Amino acid sequence: MSLPEIGYRTAQFWQKRKERKAQQGYFPSDAKLLQWRKSILPIGETSPLMTEHSIPVFGQYFSYDQLIDWHLDISSEGRFPKTFAKDINIRTSEYGSAKHVWEINRLQFLPLLALRYRHTGNSQFLIQFRKTIESWIEENPYLIGVNWYSNIEVNIRLIVWFFCWEILDVNSLMNADDDFQKFVKSKWLPTIYLHCQYSYQNPSYYSSANNHLISEYAGLFVAASFWKFSESEKWLSHAKKGLEKEIVTQHSANGVNKEEAAEYIQFITDFFLIPYVIAENTANSFSQAYQNQLKNIIEYIYQMMDMCGNIPYYGDEDDGKVIVLEDGHPDNFKSLLTSGVVLFQEPGWKSKCSGWDNKNAILFGEDGKKVFESVKSVAVEQPSKLYTEEGHFFLRQQQEEKEVYVHMDAAPLGFLSIAAHGHADALAFDLHIDGYPIITDSGTYTYHTDPEWRNYFIGTLAHNTIRVNQTNQAQSTGPTMWINHYKVKIISSETSGQKDKIVAEHNG
């Protein structure tokens, strides 16, 4: 760690001691809750949902129409203790996998309940929605339990609650229902305030400043744009400045994310897209540079895809979503291309997108749908695309409905000093034929449990490249920490209609 980071970590240590003594279970008074905006999102016509009362969680289905144990890992049946959050050790299997617990506590099934209520008017959905939030608040007092451990989880809940408020039209519900208004003012809004406070006071700086920091700025920007607490203007300015910085810092000039984790790109891009839309709708627009970079990011998503929209899965993947508004396993990469068509009217992107979906209907409304429908889909014959500076090469030969597609990874190990979500995969490749993955990445499997398997899946042996002397290309010192990063050198790269050739080396 650098000297400034040592100072930052020391300050975190003293803040932890203060919180342990003074703020466990703290609940704010109504005096801090000033007002909230009228609707920000246009919300067009959405499609009804078919699957009832369950969501996929890492290969299992979780039913949310029953009493929920908010601290249970449904995979291992382990349960995390209701003690001071920052004292809980999540890096062992003692209580199970925190990741499985967090996935449920992101509350991403609540927008589905809200959509069902919006479509049907059935009060049972609204009752279930309210009881779920009341249960979560009761079982998760401020700073108590593993669900207050990670700031990214806090900020995803803020974004989820914002979407729920808009879908339900909570402003109108409060005018029509005194009991619901009492629930909102006495329980839900104070909890939203605590989430904003936590987000602002627990930033992920220095070696931790990856997608976590982006999520913290995004969640706080969304919340402070809508709910006006006494600190909201300070939070809003802080979050906007942070998003403007991180969209540049954490991407190359061509829009390639530096974490070297392909599946995370859809996750991270939503943290930039959603605030962008909200900013446009609240007369608080981001800069032209921010808009240009967002376009570059979506263009990279388009270039990553084979003819059927499959992407290469380099680095960590965890199925993380910012917001879930569809049944099953919606393809958020394709949904982002739909958003890109609305924002930038790129016809090539439309040929690979998922069509109009609930997320885009809520973000852009009927006017956005008209823009989308006005853009003619053009399925162009894509040439190879070489991101030589970044070390990502998408080699393709297309003819009618056939395609040979190769992704070659000659990129750095990962982002910042710990390269948290990178894998030791220098000079690995993937091969897709006619839109079918044939030679692929092995995946991720787990983060903080089963260390032997974690070490295998992030190691060189699990990738389509060469391992020398049974040694990884870099040294892992923890589940999300690398030292002795390798360096990759691109010796030459060329593409033509007849031949693609990449020559590269690494010193790992």
Q: 174 and 263 share a domain?
A: yes
Q: Is residue 325 a part of any domain in this protein?
A: yes
Q: 278 and 390 share a domain?
A: no
Q: Which residue has the tokens 């897709």?
A: 432
Q: Can you give the pLDDT of all 508 residues of the chain as single tens digits? A: 788 888 888 888 888 888 888 788 888 865 567 777 889 999 999 999 987 788 888 888 899 988 999 999 999 999 999 999 999 999 888 999 999 999 999 999 999 999 999 999 999 999 999 999 999 999 999 999 999 999 999 999 999 999 999 999 999 999 999 999 999 999 999 999 999 999 999 999 888 888 999 999 999 999 999 999 999 999 999 999 999 999 999 999 999 999 999 999 999 999 999 999 999 999 999 999 999 999 999 999 999 999 999 999 999 998 899 999 998 889 999 999 999 999 999 999 999 998 999 999 999 999 999 999 999 988 788 999 999 999 999 999 999 889 999 999 999 999 989 999 999 999 999 999 999 999 999 999 888 778 899 999 999 999 999 999 999 999 999 888 999 999 999 999 999 988 999 999 999 9
What is the distance between the alpha carbons of residues 329 and 368, in angstroms, rounded to a whole number?
24
Q: Is 21 exposed, middle or buried (0-12, 13-18, 19+ CB in 10 A)?
A: exposed
Q: 337 and 411 share a domain?
A: no
The domain tally of the chain equals: 2
Q: The domain containing residue 394 runs over which residues?
A: 385-506
Q: Is residue 379 a part of any domain in this protein?
A: no
Q: 311 and 418 share a domain?
A: no
CB atoms within 10 A of CB 413: 23
Write down which residue in 312, 340, 374 finishes a domain: 374
Q: Is residue 401 a part of any domain in this protein?
A: yes
What is the distance between the alpha carbons of residues 245 and 249, in angstroms, rounded to a whole number?
6
Q: 21 and 68 share a domain?
A: yes
Q: Is residue 109 a part of any domain in this protein?
A: yes
* Tokens linked to 158: 């803020």
What is the distance between the alpha carbons of residues 299 and 283, in angstroms, rounded to a whole number?
26
Q: 162 and 47 share a domain?
A: yes
pLDDT at 271 (0 to 100): 98
What is the distance between the alpha carbons of residues 443 and 465, in angstroms, rounded to a whole number?
14
Q: What is the largest CA-CA distance in the chain?
A: 71
pLDDT at 436 (0 to 100): 96
Q: Is residue 323 a part of any domain in this protein?
A: yes
Q: Is residue 194 a part of any domain in this protein?
A: yes
Q: Is residue 36 within 8 Å of 226, Cβ to Cβ?
A: yes
Q: 145 and 282 share a domain?
A: yes
Q: 421 and 278 share a domain?
A: no
Provide the CATH number for the domain around residue 24: 1.50.10
Q: Is residue 85 a part of any domain in this protein?
A: yes
Provide the CATH number for the domain around residue 426: 2.70.98.70
What is the distance between the alpha carbons of residues 358 and 335, in angstroms, rounded to a whole number?
9
pTM, to two decimals? 0.95
Q: 222 and 102 share a domain?
A: yes
Write down which residue in 313, 342, 374 finishes a domain: 374
Coil, strand or helix at 166: helix
Q: 367 and 452 share a domain?
A: no
Write down which residue in 335, 352, 374 finishes a domain: 374
Coil, strand or helix at 79: strand
pLDDT at 20 (0 to 100): 85
Coil, strand or helix at 431: strand
Q: 361 and 430 share a domain?
A: no
DSSP symbols for 108-154: TTHHHHHHHHHHH--HHHHHHHHHHHHHHHHHS-TTBSGGGT-HHHH
Q: 254 and 166 share a domain?
A: yes
Q: Is residue 57 a part of any domain in this protein?
A: yes
